[in-house]
């Protein structure tokens, strides 16, 4: 891969053609993401329609947008037609209108109906995630008959670890694991080996809940049903792994105010714009902290050491608070922190904050005393540190809980909210204490 | 789950017994994590040995430690004996010595040999991740014979989506997908349907590489071989999903200097200690920044507005730099940023930083001019902002690359290193420019 990138930079197109054809679509996707928008056409023009389709599914959103805009309409249509229904459904929101029309004309009637079905559910639900290809059997036939049916049917859909057993009106009666099919006596009825209480999802379950269950219960595939328990489709682990990765990506990126689909080689003006909003929010919080400082200008003028030491108090608070915040956000998303034990989490973090506050208050006071030979200044900064670390602990617990109740993603807004608190409390406690007792 | 926690708090032990017995081990694990160390025994004493074993595997490291210490030796030994070899291998490093001896005595000779095999590879390699239960067939037998063999053998290992075809000396010739087995004519030889070039792993591949490949190529299980291509075991998706989640967790937690196994209800003194180191590192960087400020005490004394405005410059730099840092760390870990395109990433981020620097320089200058009615002060702070945002962009690219080359995890150390740079550059540029041109 790396050498392919280097070859590209040397402009040796002949060698590229040979190499790209051998790559897995996922590798082509990664290669494209590492190239600048100008270089990408060299790669994608070498791809067969089937590979191109898979690449469109695998590639990150920023690159996909470019591909959908730049690739010729006919090529695009034939690339998309080869894909699975659920993958086409995922691409549809991004497709240019005329391509969409051609894709819909191109697929057969049955596929069009399935596509309509999948598209009728929000993208981030079990319905949006499901595929409509479950292999269905009845429970009163024998294992032997099922085996014969499968042989006649030919190729199984990917990730088929179980068949779905339905009754009247497609109601799901249970699932038949493939391993049972292989090991049960051939004359046994299916009924004998059906798991009648399988993990299943309602079509409107959120994709986060689906991902959590797949992860927790180690599923490969699971049925999706509607409120009447009618089998609508199945969800497979490959799509769930993508959800898990996207979730994880999201929480890392959101903390820095970034969208997860950020294309590393997006045009400069676009990247600058997409990041500017976050800097704007940060400017507001920074101005609030500065305003607090400005209330004590006279104090600082008389004791300029305060200006030197105040960032220490603020930054220690910010770091301690971020630790608590991170633990709490994780606990909330994993479900280990709930309404029932929230109070105890707060108590624990309060104690940790207090303990670390006392410890680091001594350390910071020591620094201040050595630096400025002023014991009173040391005492004041120690007190400010304890106050700020306790405030940090409390806000680290309370803010994310509050934000989630308000429907705001704590991974996105928690950090800014927290450092606003720790900056304000840090600056205020040091300067106000100094104004009261020192100056 | 939530109501179970509430029941626990009301101390209604009878009702708990009934509920816990119905829970999936993964749910019991989550329940335990949400309880304080004192409450946990109420739950685990209700568990059957088989469930207890599964719970030990599922639970987070902090809670596991408590369980291994507190549970009676005999109960522990019988719980562990029921587990798969790879799960026992994962527990072994944490087991008390006398329990370990009893577990090893308890399992049969074959299992002990397998355990020795798995334990001989580092925990974070394909060898440490693999299970030693692959179902093996020869390629010159017929599909029918394989089916008959499986039926005789009984239950298949979990996540068996393929059988492993070996030749002389257990050398891996390829894999036979179960779906082929179900759909191929019964009289065909296995040879006809073998995939002779499957995704496979060397026993010493890192678990990160294994996870990346599983995710990229959507695998359910894959063979593990040694340098002679001898089949040693297989890796299954359930263990890989755990690796993916741990990796993701790690990168979120490491950014705040936390260990990923942090138990939310660990004893206060222990949590305080484990977080104190990070605060110590932060104190050092904060003192460095303060030292920079102290070099300009005379300047601040004459123009105290500088003390008010300087945190704005530093914090805008920190935030812009964190955005670049996050994008670059992600690109490095996903492999889209490589040696070949590093230079272009730097150029792009430099331009984004410059553009946002110019834009926000105006905004901050405006704030300063309105606040202090001083155009020169506005000009100075604008210039400092541009300098710091460009410095932030450059360090956001260079620091993580440098840290990974030095073998230091950029997710752990990148943030501290970056804010040290942006604090120092931010304070220095504003104060030095003011000292030169204003005061």
DSSP one-letter string for A285-303? HHHHHHHHHHTTHHHHHH-
Query: Does position A141 have pLDDT exceeding 90, yes or no?
Result: yes
Q: CB of B282 within 8 Å of any CB in chain A? A: yes
Confidence of residue A260 (pLDDT cuts 50, 70, 90): low
Query: Does position B18 have pLDDT exceeding 80, yes or no?
Result: no
Phi–psi pair at B166, nearest 5 degrees: -120, 155
| H or E element in which residue A114 lies | helix A109-119
Residues carrying CATH 1.10.357.20, chain A: 268-437
Q: How far apart are CA B249 and CA B252, in angstroms?
A: 5
- Give the best-scoring range by mean pLDDT among A82-91, B177-186, B247-256, B267-276: B177-186
User: Environment class of residue B302 by beta-carbon count within 10 Å: exposed (0-12), middle (13-18) or buried (19+)?
Assistant: middle
Answer CATH for A2-120 from 1.25.60.10, 3.40.50.620, 3.90.79.10, 1.20.120.610: 1.25.60.10
Q: How far apart are CA B81 and CA B22, in angstroms?
A: 22
Query: Does position A5 have pLDDT exceeding 80, yes or no?
Result: no
Taking residues A348-353, what's their average pLDDT?
A: 93
Query: Does position A3 have pLDDT exceeding 60, yes or no?
Result: no
Percent of chain B whose pLDDT exceeds 90: 51
Confidence of residue A213 (pLDDT cuts 50, 70, 90): very high
| pLDDT value, residue A412 | 86
Task: Name the more confident of A104 and A11.
Answer: A104
Q: CB of A144 within 8 Å of any CB in chain B? A: no
Taking residues B233-262, what's their average pLDDT?
A: 84
| pLDDT value, residue B7 | 59
Best mutation site among A341, A351, A377 for testing chain B: the one with the most B CBs within 10 Å? A341
Confidence of residue B191 (pLDDT cuts 50, 70, 90): very high
Query: Does position B439 have pLDDT exceeding 80, yes or no?
Result: no
| pLDDT value, residue A194 | 95
Mean pLDDT of chain A: 88
A202: helix, strand or coil: strand
Query: Does position B20 have pLDDT exceeding 90, yes or no?
Result: no
Percent of chain A whose pLDDT exceeds 70: 95
Classify domain B136-255 by CATH number. Answer: 3.10.580.10
Q: Contact A214/B337, CB-based, under 8 Å? A: no
Question: Which residues are CB-contacts of A403 (< 8 A; sequence separation ≥ 6)?
Answer: A409, A410, A413, A414, A417
Confidence of residue A270 (pLDDT cuts 50, 70, 90): confident
Q: Please enumerate, as own/partner, the contacts of B272-275 that have beta carbons within 8 Å and a separation of 24 or more.
A: B272/A351, B272/A352, B272/A355, B272/A356, B272/A359, B275/A320, B275/A323, B275/A352, B275/A356
Taking residues B253-278, what's their average pLDDT?
A: 82
Q: Which residues in chain B have Cβ-Cβ distances shorter than 8 Å to A419? A: 315
> Under CATH, which architecture does the A268-437 domain have?
Orthogonal Bundle (1.10)
pTM across the whole model: 0.84
Question: Which residues are CB-contacts of A110 (< 8 A; sequence separation ≥ 6)?
Answer: none
Please, are residues B221 and B236 in contact by the beta-carbon 8 Å criterion? yes
Query: Does position A288 have pLDDT exceeding 70, yes or no?
Result: yes
**pLDDT tens string A366-396:** 999 999 999 999 999 999 999 999 999 999 9
Q: How far apart are CA A209 and CA A204, in angstroms?
A: 10
> What string of DSSP letters covers B198-258?
---EETTSBHHHHHHHHHHHT-SEEEEE-TT-BEEEEEEHHHHHHHHHHHHHHHHHHHTT-
Nearest CA in chain A to B268: A352
Closest by Cβ to B156, choosing from A26, A27, A183: A183
| pLDDT value, residue B375 | 93
Residues carrying CATH 3.10.580.10, chain B: 136-255
| H or E element in which residue B136 lies | strand B136-137
Q: How far apart are CA B361 and CA B383, in angstroms?
A: 7
Nearest CA in chain B to A312: B286
Closest by Cβ to B161, choosing from A161, A286, A363: A161
Taking residues B301-317, what's their average pLDDT?
A: 94
**pLDDT tens string B192-239:** 999 999 999 999 999 999 999 998 898 999 999 999 999 999 999 988
Residue with tokens 């001594």: A362
Query: Does position A255 have pLDDT exceeding 90, yes or no?
Result: no
Please, are residues A28 and A53 in contact by the beta-carbon 8 Å criterion? no
B145: left (phi > 0), else alpha (psi -120 to 50), else beta?
Answer: alpha
Residues carrying CATH 1.25.60.10, chain B: 2-120
Kindly give the pairing relationship between strand B201-202 and strand B221-225: parallel
| pLDDT value, residue B22 | 81
| pLDDT value, residue A427 | 97
Q: How many CB pairs under 8 A join A and B?
A: 349
Task: Name the more confident of A3 and B290.
Answer: B290
- Top CATH class, A136-237: alpha beta
Q: CB of B289 within 8 Å of any CB in chain A? A: yes
Residue with tokens 């290809």: A133
Q: Contact B9/A334, CB-based, under 8 Å? A: no
Q: CB of A94 within 8 Å of any CB in chain B? A: no
Mean pLDDT of chain B: 89
- Give the best-scoring range by mean pLDDT among B39-53, B57-71, B303-317: B303-317
């Amino acid at each position: 891969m790396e050498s392919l990138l280097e070859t590209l930079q040397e402009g040796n197109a002949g060698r590229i053609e040979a190499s790209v054809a051998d790559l897995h679509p996922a590798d082509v996707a990664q290669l494209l993401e590492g190239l600048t928008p100008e270089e990408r056409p060299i790669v994608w023009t070498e791809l067969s329609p089937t590979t191109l389709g898979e690449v469109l599914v695998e590639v990150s959103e920023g690159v996909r947008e470019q591909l959908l805009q730049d690739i010729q309409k006919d090529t695009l249509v034939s690339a998309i037609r080869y894909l699975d229904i659920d993958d086409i459904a995922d691409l549809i929101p991004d497709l240019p209108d005329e391509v969409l029309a051609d894709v819909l004309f191109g697929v057969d009637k049955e596929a069009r109906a399935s596509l309509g079905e999948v598209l009728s559910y929000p993208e981030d639900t079990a319905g949006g995630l499901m595929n409509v290809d479950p292999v269905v059997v009845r429970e009163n036939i024998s294992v032997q008959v099922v085996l014969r049916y499968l042989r006649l049917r030919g190729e199984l859909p990917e990730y088929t670890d179980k068949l779905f057993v339905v009754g009247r009106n497609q109601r799901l009666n249970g699932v038949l694991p493939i391993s049972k099919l292989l090991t049960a006596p051939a004359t046994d009825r299916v009924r004998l080996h059906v798991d009648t209480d399988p993990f299943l999802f309602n079509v409107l379950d959120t994709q986060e809940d689906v991902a959590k269950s797949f992860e927790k219960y180690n599923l490969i595939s699971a049925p999706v049903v509607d409120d009447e328990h009618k089998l609508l489709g199945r969800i497979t682990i490959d799509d769930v792994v993508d959800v898990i990765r996207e979730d994880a990506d999201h929480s890392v990126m959101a903390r820095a105010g970034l969208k997860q689909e950020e294309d590393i080689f997006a045009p400069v003006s676009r990247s600058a714009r997409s990041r500017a909003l976050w800097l704007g929010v940060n400017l507001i919080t920074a101005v609030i902290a500065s305003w607090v400082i400005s209330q004590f200008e006279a104090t600082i003028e008389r004791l300029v050491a305060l200006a030197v030491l105040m960032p220490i108090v603020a930054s220690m608070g910010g770091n301690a608070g971020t630790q608590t915040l991170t633990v709490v956000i994780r606990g909330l998303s994993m479900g280990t922190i709930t309404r029932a034990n929230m109070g105890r989490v707060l108590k624990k973090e309060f104690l940790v904050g207090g303990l670390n506050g006392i410890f680091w208050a001594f350390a910071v006071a020591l620094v201040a005393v050595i630096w400025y030979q002023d014991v009173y200044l040391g005492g004041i900064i120690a007190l400010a540190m304890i106050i700020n670390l306790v405030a940090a602990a409390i806000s680290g617990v309370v803010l994310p809980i509050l934000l989630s109740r308000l429907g705001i993603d704590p991974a996105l807004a928690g950090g800014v909210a927290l450092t606003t608190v720790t900056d304000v409390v840090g600056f205020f406690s040091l300067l106000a204490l100094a104004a009261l007792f020192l100056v």
